[in-house]
Amino acid sequence: MGKIPLLSIVIPVYNVQEYLSDSLNSVIGQIKTNDVEVIIVNDGSTDGSLQIAERFVEMYTFVKVVSIENSGLGAARNVGVRNANGMYVQFLDSDDVLSETIIEEVLFEIKRDMSTDVFVFDYAEFPDGDLSNTRKQNFDLSKFRYGNVAWNKIYRLDFWRAYDFNYPEGMRYEDTPLTHIIMGLSEKSTKINTIGYLYRRNREGSITAESSVMVDLLCRLNSLREFELNILKYRCELQSQNKEFKVVEKFLKEVLLVFWNNKNILNNKSWNHFSFAKGLLNSPVITKDMLLRLNCKVLFLYLIEKIMFMRRGVD
């Protein structure tokens, strides 16, 4: 049996032949030891993505491809984790790139402290085609701010498997239901103070770019429903770590943000999903004790939304 790698990098791939080589090269160019393995999960691509991935497999022994029928990003990540052999696992979306030194910095941090459940680093966004125009996103773990995305984090695989984490499959915004749960259950999270990831915004053909406003809203509500179910699933564990309130507060803020950004649709009484949206405001995870602990601004916004739904005649 060969050496167990410190880090497994999981890269789900679906019809990204235009971007895949850049994404893979941003990883390959940083790997200088056998401490890293790269797992490309081909999610039923119909363009030249699989052929590009196979060329990298031929050139590098630490790269492998796992092919599945098209099942979506969440399913592809889950398959990647199941095939991972490293002590830690990281996700990279195949149209994005890693910063030039992040793997070296991550390996240094892992070797320094293998008890950390989750490492978090900052990231930068850039518009498709203009890598020079970035917008930084910085996080502060002391304030429970870490970014509601999967890919600016490194997860200890034993921690992941102990809780049997899985991304929801067959839906969009799959990061939301799980990321807050993971951070709530992490007994030790460590910030790496660097920009480690470059996220491509508004790529033509991406899931979010092609979504209509109403379809997008329904997808976000479905994601929040899965988040609610995960809170209920892991409630005892969250309570044992005194993190239930923090995670429920994240849930409520996510709900309020979606409602605020889609108020024109929600104010339209002909919309067919009022009961679904109302159910999130009346979620069993939002108890009276939780409401009393909210800061005044969040509580005020929550009560305003409740009143608005009452006026629409759906309460």
Give 82-92 pLDDT, tens digit per residue.
999 999 999 99
pLDDT at residue number 37: 97
pLDDT at residue number 204: 56
Least reliable range by pLDDT among 27-36, 115-124, 198-207: 198-207
Mean pLDDT of 225-254: 97
Asked whether residue 167 carries a pLDDT value surpassing 80, the answer given is yes
Kindly report the average pLDDT of the chain as a whole number.
Answer: 91
Pairing of strands 135-137, 118-127: antiparallel
Asked whether residue 239 carries a pLDDT value surpassing 80, the answer given is yes
Round to whole Å and give the CA distance between 134 and 111: 30
pLDDT at residue number 315: 46
Highest mean pLDDT among 131-140, 179-188, 211-220: 179-188
pLDDT at residue number 130: 66
Band the pLDDT of 69: cuts 50, 70, 90: very high
**pTM, full prediction:** 0.92
The pLDDT tens digits of the residues spanning 135-149 come to: 899 999 999 999 999
Band the pLDDT of 309: cuts 50, 70, 90: confident
pLDDT at residue number 127: 82
Residues sharing a CB contact under 8 Å with residue 290, sequence separation 6 or more, in sequence order: 245, 248, 249, 252
Asked whether residue 247 carries a pLDDT value surpassing 70, the answer given is yes
Distances (CA, A) of 255 to 122, 153, 249: 24, 23, 10
Q: Where are the alpha helices (DSSP H) in the chain?
A: 20-28, 49-59, 73-82, 102-112, 157-162, 175-185, 213-233, 235-240, 244-261, 263-266, 274-281, 288-293, 296-311
Asked whether residue 40 carries a pLDDT value surpassing 70, the answer given is yes
pLDDT at residue number 1: 45
pLDDT at residue number 205: 53
Spatial CA neighbour of 177 closest among 216, 234, 229, 116: 229
Band the pLDDT of 210: cuts 50, 70, 90: very low
Mean pLDDT of 249-262: 93
Residue 225 contacts residue 123 (beta carbons within 8 Å): no
Mean pLDDT of 17-32: 95
Band the pLDDT of 214: cuts 50, 70, 90: confident
Asked whether residue 15 carries a pLDDT value surpassing 70, the answer given is yes
pLDDT at residue number 270: 58
Highest mean pLDDT among 129-133, 173-177, 261-265: 173-177
Give one word for 256, left, alpha or beta, with left for phi > 0 and alpha for psi -120 to 50: alpha
